[in-house]
């Protein structure tokens, strides 16, 4: 049984990843290209400034993979494998939840677990550390940024598990509706505390030291020695569009996982001889 569920979870994840890849290829790639063009233009302006000031200009290393490979095969492999990973985590959670979360239908549980995955694996970390297109992010803070992002993700997942357990515990005295509201409120407060405690990327010591106090690592306008702007800051529209598309891709991914998995799980969990579950939804004979 668990084998069937986990293999179907991986399949649902692959389907979700494939759909998210198609979306990314059509909508995200133009934004990524715009960001890389901005980065190239800014680097050229920086080199010109450095040359004028008599500084050595660092030579660029050769590209390991061409942009064509990265924008087609690379992003496809990345999205599909990420989808499989999320599908597996989804199936693990689903299998553990089965029979332990009260009177929830197999199909409904699939959507609830997918919603929890979307919320804790992506949306909550995104609210603190949103996705950034290329050209944003300093090379020397990659380690702290990764550790902070993974910490935020882990906290979002563990706190959600805690909130579900809290809801189960409260259900006996408050009823399902109030217990769910109380557990949801507790999750919001706990996540808010974690977000308030973790620093923003711009507040990292290396950034404050080099660039001064800013909320993020988004490139500011480039200025020459006289303080005139010689190259604009990162285009706000590209950033906003990229982030919205990143969020939509995750909604597509998790939505597909839940919707593809739900009917498959119901078929696995319902014995072939049993009557249709929907038929049993009618009232007991005594109430008719």
Partner 1 sequence: MSTIPNTAPTARASATPVVTSEARAFAWIFGAAIVALALYYFIGVDQGAFSVFGSDTHIHEFVHDSRHFLGFPCH
Residues from 118 through 147 that contact partner 1 (CB under 8 A): 122, 125-126, 129-134, 137, 139, 142-143, 145-147
Per CB under 8 A, 168 contacts partner 1: no
Rank residues 78 and 232 by Cβ distance to partner 1 and give the closer one: 78
Q: Which stretch binds partner 1 (CB under 8 A): 208-216, 223-231, 240-248, 254-262?
A: 240-248
Q: Tokens standing for 221? A: 């306008």
Distance (Å, rounded) from C-alpha 133 to C-alpha 31?
Answer: 8
By rule CB under 8 A, what string of x and - marks binding of each residue 4-43 to partner 1? -xx--xx----------x--x---xx--x-----------
The backbone torsions φ and ψ at residue 223, rounded to the nearest 5 degrees and listed phi first, read -120, 150
* Complex with partner 1: residue 13 or 190, whichever CB lies closer: 13
With contact defined as beta carbons under 8 Å apart, do 222 and 159 qualify? no
Q: How far apart are CA 217 and CA 210, in angstroms?
A: 11
155: how many CB neighbours lie within 10 A of its CB?
A: 21
Q: Closer to partner 1 at the Cβ: 23 or 48? A: 23
Which residues touch 255 (CB under 8 Å, ≥6 apart)?
16, 114, 118
Separation between Cα atoms, residue 129 and residue 218, nearest integer Å? 12
Angle value at C-alpha 261, between 258 and 267, nearest 5 degrees = 140
| Closest separation in Å from C-beta 133 to partner 1 | 6
Size of site (CB under 8 A) for partner 1: 79
67-106 residues near partner 1, rule: CB under 8 A: 69-71, 73-79, 81-82, 84-86, 88-89, 91-92, 95-96, 98-100, 102-106
Stretch that binds partner 1, among 51-59, 148-156, 164-172, 178-186 (CB under 8 A): 148-156
Pick the closer one to partner 1 by CB: 189 or 238: 238
With a CB cutoff of 8 Å and minimum separation 6, the contacts of 90 are: 9, 12, 13, 113, 114, 117, 257, 258, 261
Which residue, 87, 129, 128, 92, is CA-closest to 3? 92
Angle between helices 106-118 and 75-97 (to 10 degrees): 130
Report the residue number, 227 or 281, with the smaller CB distance to partner 1: 281
Q: Compare residues 44 and 127 and give the one whose CB is closer to partner 1.
A: 127
Return the residues of window 183-222 that contact partner 1 according to CB under 8 A. Answer: 201
Burial 234-273, CB ≥16 within 10 A → b, else e? bbeebbebbbebbbebbebbbbbbbbbbbebbbebbeeee
Question: Cβ 68 to partner 1, closest distance in Å?
Answer: 11
In the bound complex, what is the minimum distance in angstroms from residue 170's beta carbon to partner 1? 18
CB of 113 to partner 1, least distance (A): 12
Least CB distance to partner 1 at residue 205 (A):
16
């Amino acid at each position: 049984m668990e084998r069937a569920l986990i293999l179907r979870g991986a399949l649902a994840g692959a389907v979700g990843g494939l759909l998210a890849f198609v979306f990314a290829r059509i909508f995200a790639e133009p934004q990524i290209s715009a960001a890389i063009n901005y980065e190239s233009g800014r680097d050229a302006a920086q080199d010109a400034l450095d040359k004028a000031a008599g500084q050595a200009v660092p030579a660029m290393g050769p590209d390991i993979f061409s942009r064509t490979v990265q924008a087609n095969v690379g992003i496809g492999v990345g999205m599909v494998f990420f989808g499989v990973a999320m599908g597996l985590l989804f199936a693990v959670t689903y299998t553990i939840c089965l029979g332990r979360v009260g009177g929830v239908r197999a199909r409904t549980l699939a959507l609830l677990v997918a919603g929890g995955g979307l919320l804790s694996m992506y949306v909550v970390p995104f609210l603190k550390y949103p996705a950034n297109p290329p050209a944003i992010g300093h090379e020397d803070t990659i380690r702290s940024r990764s550790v902070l992002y993974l910490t935020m993700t882990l906290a979002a997942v563990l706190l959600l598990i805690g909130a579900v357990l809290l809801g189960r515990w409260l259900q006996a005295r408050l009823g399902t509706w109030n217990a769910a509201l109380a557990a949801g409120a507790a999750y919001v407060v706990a996540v808010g505390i974690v977000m308030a405690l973790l620093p923003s990327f711009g507040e990292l010591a290396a950034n404050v030291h080099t660039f001064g106090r800013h909320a993020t690592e988004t490139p500011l306008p480039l200025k020459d020695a006289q303080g005139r702007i010689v190259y604009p800051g990162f285009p706000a529209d590209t950033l906003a569009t990229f982030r919205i598309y990143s969020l939509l891709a995750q909604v597509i991914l998790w939505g597909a996982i839940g919707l593809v998995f739900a009917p498959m799980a119901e078929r696995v969990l319902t014995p072939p001889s049993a009557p249709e579950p929907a038929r049993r939804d009618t009232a007991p004979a005594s109430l008719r």
